[in-house]
Structure formats: structure tokens, C-alpha cells
A and B are shown apart, each in its own frame.
Chain A
Amino acid sequence: MPEGVFDLFDEYAAAYARGERPQARAYLERAGEGADELARLLEVFVQAAPVPPPDEDTVALVGAWLEGQPPLVELRARRGVRVEDVVEALVSGLGLDPAKRAKVKRYYQRLEGGLLEPAGVAAAVWRVLGELVPRAEEAAGWRPEQAAAGAYLRVSGAVPAAGATGRARAAPGEPDEIDRLFLSGG
């Protein structure tokens, strides 16, 4: 096993023990060809290691989820960040056309409400968003409890359900930059 893999394991495990919530995805990317081995080590470790106490954001995120509220809204609101603040940051941070601010706002609100697939959102969006609302990407992946239960019962391979668990689609016409940022990873 490559030496680098265990160095990465050691780094992750120590950060985990300190309650820093390391993200395995980043470590697997660093492991390169050793990613499979590292994944196996880390999977055993997270089950074997003492569970650190949760931080306030995690408690808030889970609390919102249990109450049927979008976790991302909760994390944003806790920081006193308004939707308009987020929209302004996205428009200016991504160099978008200010005339399309309303479109950006609609997409962001869908994201908050669990109506967009986080995997389709570009890394650049998460980077800007994360500066205002840390852990936004994490929160966006968790639909409110009832919506998650609906997705749980969704028939495999069926057309996405309408309403809260449906997938947003681009407006008619050629997708523009904003559509690509929120629907197809940029």
C-alpha cells in the first residue's frame, strides 16, 4: 500500500478526532490511485473511532431537517445573511450579468428549497456560497424530512416527481451561463 495513503489516513483520523469534520472526498482525491485503499481504511475508522460531539451548525442543520425546514435556509438565517446578500455575492463573484439577477435569485431559492440537485451546481457557485454560508453544499444535499421520505418512496427510474422533489429544468431556449452554473456543473 502506498505510504501516502496512510499519511492521508493519519491526517484525516487526527482531524476527525479533533471534531473538525474532515471531508473524505477531498482526501480520496489526494490519494489518486490509492483512493480505494484509503476509502476502505476510512470506512472502518469512522465506525471504530469515538464520535465527536456535534457543533452548533450540525445541530441546527439536523434540527431544521427534522422540523421539515430546508437546512440551507436555517444555516443562512443563523448568520443573518439575506437571500439578496447571496444573490449579490453570486452575481459579483461569478461575474454574471447584473440584468439577470432575478434569474440567479430564482435558482438560488430553488436550491435552498431542495428543488435543485446539488450535484448539478457548479463548484464556483459553492465556493462563493460557502464564503457566506459555510457548509452550504452539505446542507443543500439534505432535503427536509418529509421531502426526503417522498424521495425514499420514489419509484426507481421513474420521471422525477413534480413538486418538492422534482428536478428543476432550464427555461425554454438555449441554456445560458446561469442555467449551466446551476444545472450542469458550470
Chain B
Amino acid sequence: MHDARDAEDRRLLEAGEHKLLLAAYFHPVRERCFLRLRDRAAGDEAAQRVFLRLLEELRRGKVYRVPYRVVVWMVCEWTLGGFWPGAKHEGTLPEEWDATASDAFAEWEDDHDLGVLLAGLPPRQREVLDLRYREGLGPEQIAERLGITRNAVDQALHNGHRKLREALGA
């Protein structure tokens, strides 16, 4: 599910297009920081720290063997773990981390990949939820795309949602 994004990130990394690379993660990082801290000002401060760390590594020419989105979310987690507004230093932000240990992130990726979360669903529910959450299609559009009735879409959404709740830990 992340193939296109991962390929684009690799291209931007190789081309040194830091602005475009970071811009892609601006909204996701900002949202995640707000959702964790539940305060917009604190969330923005944390998000900026994430970006400062990412930028520092980019400017150093750090090479990663994991997808860049994994790097972004790892830095986010470390920053949020030791964060409080106005703090001088985050105790949990590692100076160096082994981005070559790609296996270490395999388990993380499994828990943070929508495709994996949907994989356990029956095929029709998976198809419908994939179109809903990967392309943002409405129920009528999904029905037209898959050549099924609106009622079939609604049923698949209802049943798929119940299982997705469990997968997301609700």
C-alpha cells in the first residue's frame, strides 16, 4: 500500500529535495503530535522538533535502509515520548540509531500499515475499505467502481468497520 510513497521518498532523498520530502509529512506529523498531546500549541511545538531532527539528519546525508516513513514515525515516537512544552532536551531522543537494522522495523511496519490491517478481512470488505481509506471514495463511487449495489457496499462497510475497529485496537 505504501509502494508509491516509498518510491517517491527514495527519489526525493536521492535528489536532495528536502522541502518536498518534508512537506509530504507536514500534515500527518502535525496531526499525530496533536492527537498524542491533545493540545494544538504543544502539538505544533513537538512537530517542529520532529522536523528539526529530520532536517538535521537529512543535511548530514544520513542514509536509511528502511522506508523514510518509518524514519519519520520513529523520530515522532521518540520526540513525543520525552516531550513536554518548552523542555530543554528530550531524554529519549537517541543521538544515533541503527537504520540499517531493517528487521527491527518489520514488526512496527506490520502494526502501522493499513494494507496489513485490512488483510485479515474477507475479500469484498477488504476491497470496499481499501477504496474508502486509500482513495477516499464515497459509497456510491465504490459501488460503481466495483460493479455492485449500494446496499452491498453499505453492508461491506458495516461489517468491515467492526473488524477494523478490533484491528485498530478500539
Contact with B along A20-53 (1 / 0, CB 8 A): 1101110010000000010111111111111111
Contacting residue for A21 out of B27, B112, B116, B135, CB 8 A: B27
List B contacts of A118 (CB < 8 A): 40-41, 44
Interface residues on B, range: 35 or more
Assess the B112–A47 pair: CB atoms within 8 A.
Answer: yes
- The residue of chain B having its C-beta at the shortest distance from the C-beta of A18 within the complex is B136
Q: How far is the CA of A25 from the CA of B136 in the complex (A)?
A: 20
The secondary-structure label for the interface of chain A is helix
The secondary-structure label for the interface of chain B is helix
CB within 8 Å of B: which A49-73 residues = 49-54, 58-59, 61-63, 65-66
Binding site for B on A (CB under 8 A): 1, 5-6, 10, 13-21, 23-25, 28, 37, 39-54, 58-59, 61-63, 65-66, 117-119, 138, 141-143, 145, 148-149, 151-158
The stretch of B47-55, B97-105, B145-153 in contact with A is B47-55
Question: Given A48-B113, A50-B134, A148-B52, are A40 and B170 neighbors across the interface (CB < 8 Å)?
Answer: yes
- The residue of chain A having its C-beta at the shortest distance from the C-beta of B22 within the complex is A62
Assess the A48–B112 pair: CB atoms within 8 A.
Answer: yes
Assess the B40–A25 pair: CB atoms within 8 A.
Answer: yes
Q: How far is the CA of A54 from the CA of B40 in the complex (A)?
A: 21
Min Cβ gap A76→B in Å is 18
Assess the B135–A17 pair: CB atoms within 8 A.
Answer: yes
Question: Given A143-B48, A148-B48, are A154 and B88 neighbors across the interface (CB < 8 Å)?
Answer: yes
Assess the B36–A50 pair: CB atoms within 8 A.
Answer: no
Min Cβ gap A28→B in Å is 8
Question: Given A44-B169, A48-B117, A51-B28, are A17 and B134 neighbors across the interface (CB < 8 Å)?
Answer: yes
**Cβ of B15 under 8 Å from chain A:** no
Question: Given A66-B18, A118-B41, A142-B44, are A40 and B117 neighbors across the interface (CB < 8 Å)?
Answer: no
Assess the A152–B49 pair: CB atoms within 8 A.
Answer: yes
